[in-house]
Structure 1
Amino acid sequence: MTSLLQQFATAPTKAREGEILALGPWFHNLHLPDGAQTAPGHALGDFPAFKWRELAPALPHDLRGWTALDIGCNAGFYSFELAKRGAEVTGIDVEPLFLRQAEWAAREFGLADRVRFRQAQVYDLAHIGAQFDLVLFMGVFYHLRYPMLGLDIVAETVRRLLVFQTLTMPGTEVHPDTARYRSVDDRDDFLAPGWPRMAFLEHPFAGDETNWWAPNHAAVEAMLRSSGLRVTGRPAHEMYLCEPDPAAAVWPRGRGRAELLAATGCAWRAGGPPEGGA
């Protein structure tokens, strides 16, 4: 049983609680080295620690020599866990508050030399032109107004391993015959169980107006394949482990390459605007 003395020794002081509160509100409950926590009363529980416990066994324990990208890093929980395993980590997020929290926490953990944070959108990655050994793309996809574009961009940043997690529709069915040739009027299977589909969330879902999409399991796997990725594992519900599939004849690497470059503005940067353009 923990003694009262031990409890007192690890309890955060009022000043410490005030420091953490001043940086809030927090979405990540970070367990700081001195025993303090940033969001001990989180509505989801000890989040995202319970998610990490599901994912951690599926990742290499020794990440020395690996580079990692944490997309939508928030306050940096996953970034710090990867850095503790030896990775050099870049975290990106669109919210300045989260980035301030992450930079502060990096110093608290003594990891400021192994992690860096920057404000960026998923779509900005198309202009960075970098690849990372390990990419975390968790809790972001369903917030994207342009989800397939975002996934195609992310897929190009993955050198070895991608962790993909998204809000999904109920069910794990997969239609057995999506590849069969169909005429233009042969659409009944589109409504069959397990056909790849996404629910569009026009109105705020769970109080969040940026929750736009909820794909079913079949759609998640189909979209990952279409972006040139091969699903290698399912560490937990709504979580997919993937690796690049060089043999995949996917749209962004084939005739659709021009579309991806145009959608990201990279075509203009490479060769100037099309004839007649401004």
Structure 2
Amino acid sequence: MNVAPSLTPEIIEERIRALGPWFHNMKLGGMWTAPDHFLGDYPGVKFRRFADTLPADMTGKTVLDIGCNGGFYAIEMKRRGADRVLGIDFDEAYLSQARFAAEVNGLAIEFRKMSVYDVGSLGERFDLVIFMGVLYHLRHPLLALDIIHDTVAKDLLLFQSLQRGSATVDPVAEDYDFWQQDHFDSPGYPRMFFVEHRYSGDPTNWWIPNTACSAAMLRSAGFTIEAHPEEEVFLCRRTALAHPGAVYPSKDTRP
């Protein structure tokens, strides 16, 4: 890591405090950004569980990190040699943290304020789209996946969501009779839990899927699951869909 000479340990420590609180606990200039994080070394501790699932050499690749927060994943992909990394977030405080973290690491990463629903305005597709820790904060989660598929995903999607309920995944039939209802009560059937008020003190938590639902939503949006290396993490590949868009698509037209 090549830290700019002007960024002394004292300045880095002062900036870390000024930009806090941090959700991404990263070591910048030898100092942790969130040393009292309730999840410890997060997201590093999570990333180590599936880091080998992603290409070790990202040379020549482009990366879009949606909901980049403090920039941890954008930085990791740039370290792997990605030619272009763009991180977007709707929270200016997180973007300020991400820009500073990239500066301390001496990495050229672009960060913009943008909603996931507006990524189509970028007008380009990326070899890897990172969509970690965002879905459950959205009022319209499947719409977001549809937009990502239709506008910015070129090949790989790295997905993660907070999950609750059963980790069991039931086989699901292509169709069910109107009077058949037992499958809806099975813990392994795809389901999402709606948070009307707050969950874990956070009013931005809206929909929390179980494992089966995460997988089903990804497939429905046109992503083939290639790996499931961690209970909440899926590595997917974009595939073509026959339906014309995100509004009332007919399931019968899907390949």
| TM-score normalised by structure 2 residue count | 0.88
Contact 1:178–1:195 at 8 Å: present in 2 too? Answer: no
- What secondary structure, in the 3-state scheme, does the structure 1 residue paired with 2:217 have? helix
- RMSD over equivalenced CA pairs, Å: 1.9
Which of 141, 148, 153 lines up with 1:154 in the alignment?
A: 148
Displacement of 1:36 in angstroms is 2.0
Residues 198-217 of structure 1: pairs in structure 2 closer than 5 A:
198-217=192-211
Q: Show the counterpart of 2:217.
A: 223
CA–CA distance in structure 2, aligned partners of residues 192 and 258 of structure 1: 28
Q: CA deviation at 1:82?
A: 0.3
Mapped to 2, the partners of 1:15 and 1:80 lie a distance apart of: 21
- Equivalent pairs: percent with the same residue? 47
Q: Give the stretch that moved more between structures: 63-72 or 166-175.
A: 166-175
Taking the aligned partners of 1:48 and 1:135, their CA distance within structure 2 comes to 17
Aligned partner of 2:98 in structure 1 is 102
Unaligned ranges ≥5, structure 2: 1-7, 250-255
Mapped pair 1:30 → 2:26: yes
1:168 is matched with 163
When normalised by structure 1's length, the TM-score is 0.81
| Deviation for aligned residue 1:85 | 0.5
Report the CA distance between 1:151 and its aligned residue: 1.0
Contact 1:221 1:231 survives alignment (8 Å): yes
- Other-structure match for 1:180: 175
The amino acid that maps onto 2:57 is D
Displacement of 1:13 in angstroms is 5.0
How many Å apart are 1:116 and its aligned residue?
Answer: 0.2
Structure of higher CA gyration radius: 1
Closer/same/farther in 2, CA of residues 89 and 13 from structure 1, 3 Å limit: closer
Q: Which has the higher contact order (CA 8 A, sep 6+)?
A: 2
Work out the CA distance in 2 between the residues paired with 1:16 and 1:63. Answer: 29
In the TM superposition, residue 237 of structure 1 has moved relative to its aligned partner by 1.5
Counting matched residue pairs gives 240
Secondary structure of the 1:159 match is strand
Counterpart for residue 57 of structure 1: 52
Deviation digits for residues 175-204 of structure 1, max 9, x if unmatched?
Answer: 224313423x33332222321111111120
Match of 2:218, SS?
A: helix
TM-superposed deviation, 1:171 = 1.9
Verify: 1:93 aligned to 2:81, yes or no. no
Tell me if structure 2 keeps the 8 A contact 1:195–1:219.
yes
